[in-house]
Each structure stands twice: as C-alpha cells, then as structure tokens.
C-alpha cells in the first residue's frame, strides 16, 4: 500500500525539480546595449533611465510645471503672469514671461523671493536643469532686489560645515549688491 502513495509523491517531486531546472534566467549579456527608450535621455523625472542631458527637445513638461507653480502660489506672482516660452540648453532653463511679470520688481523683496523659490522648486524636479534664467518678452528682467539676469542654481548648493541660515546657497546668491561703489 505504501508503494502506491510513494509513486505519486516521487512523480510530483521529479516534475517540480524538472520544471525548476528549466526556469533559470539567462545570463546577462557581456556588453549591455544602451536603452532603446527615447525617454531615457529626456531628463524628465520618472522617465526610465532618466539622466541629465545638456539640452531638452520637449520643454512642455517644464512649461507645465512652471505654470502650475504660478497657479499654486498666485500671491507670489503679478496677476496675469504667463509663461511665454521655455528653452533648456546646457543645463540652463530660460523662462520667458509675459510683460505682467515685470510688476514683480515693485511687489517687495519677500514676494520676489517667494516667486524665485517657487520657480526654483518647479525646475529642480528636472535632472537636466541646473540653473534658471528669467526674461520678460525676450529681454532680461531687471529688479532692484535680485539679479535675475545671471543664471542661478535651481537647487541649493550645500556648504561644508553645516547650515548657514541661507538654505545652503552661497551667501548673496541671486542677490544684488547693495554697495554704493561706482
């Protein structure tokens, strides 16, 4: 009677071993080919294999992120401000705004700083973007508080030795000199 119960068990065990032996994955290739995914070089967050590139062909996601940042914190931007265009080249995002953005220069330094933080946070999501430059209708945006004409980092730059109370950014980063030299 025991022979009858052992045979099916032995058969099941043999079948399981036979299946397991044939289910091993093939070894990886010696020289893996680069990804065939076109989104892999887009620099977009969440893209498979995303990595920083020097140029972004499709800046629609960047434009959408900046537009969302303006809508998210409307008090930080002059009413009616819109994004006219976005280009990304050499890691620098150039944001061109509608003429309404110029009114930011008259809204106070805390509002201007809030607008800058919003824009930096929106751009920091994109690995291909390291710095931002702001223009209004293609011309440099001029402010008495912040130097928007020179591209500045979208991510904080850590300074050795801990917190400096400046969010990790170099002292005076993005700030106009208040000196009276001339």
Which domains does the chain possess? 51-153 (3.30.300)
Q: Which of 103, 148, 149, 154 is nearest to 126 (CA)?
A: 154
Backbone angles phi, psi at 96, to 5 degrees: -105, 120
Between the CA of residue 78 and those of 30, 82, 89, 108, what are the distances in Å?
57, 10, 27, 11
CA distance 46 to 103: 35
DSSP category for residue 77: S
Q: Please spell the DSSP secondary structure of 130-182, one letter per residue.
A: -EEEEEETTEE---SSB--SS-EESS----TTS--SSTTSPTTTTBPP-----
What's the pLDDT at 53?
A: 42
Task: Collect all residues with Cβ–Cβ distance below 8 Å to 114 and sequence separation of at least 6.
Answer: 73, 75, 76
- 123 close to 154: Cβ distance less than 8 angstroms: yes
Looking at every residue in the chain, the average pLDDT score rounds to 73
pLDDT digits (tens, 9 = 90+) for 63-102: 999 999 999 999 999 999 999 999 999 999 999 999 999 9
What's the pLDDT at 42?
A: 41
**pTM greater than the 0.75 cutoff:** no
* pLDDT level of residue 13 (50, 70, 90 thresholds): low
Backbone angles phi, psi at 9, to 5 degrees: -65, -45
Neighbouring C-beta atoms of residue 9, cutoff 10 Å = 9
What's the pLDDT at 23?
A: 55
CA distance 24 to 96: 55
- Structure tokens given for 42: 């887009």
pLDDT digits (tens, 9 = 90+) for 126-157: 999 999 999 999 999 888 888 888 898 999 86
């Amino acid at each position: 009677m025991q022979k009858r119960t052992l045979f099916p068990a032995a058969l099941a065990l043999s079948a399981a071993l036979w299946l397991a032996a044939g289910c091993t994955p093939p070894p990886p290739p010696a020289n893996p080919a680069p990804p065939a995914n076109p989104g892999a070089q887009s620099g977009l967050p969440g893209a498979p294999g995303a990595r920083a590139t020097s140029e972004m062909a499709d800046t629609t996601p960047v434009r959408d992120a900046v537009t969302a940042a303006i809508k998210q914190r409307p008090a930080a931007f002059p009413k009616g401000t819109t994004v006219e265009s976005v280009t990304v080249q050499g890691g620098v995002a150039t944001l061109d705004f509608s003429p309404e953005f110029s009114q930011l220069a008259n809204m106070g330094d805390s509002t201007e700083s809030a607008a800058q933080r919003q824009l930096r946070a929106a751009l920091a999501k994109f690995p291909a973007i390291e710095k931002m430059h702001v223009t209004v209708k293609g011309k440099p945006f001029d402010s008495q508080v912040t130097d928007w004409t020179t591209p500045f980092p979208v991510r904080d730059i850590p300074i050795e030795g801990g917190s400096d109370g400046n969010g990790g950014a170099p002292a005076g980063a993005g700030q106009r000199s208040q000196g009276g030299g001339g």
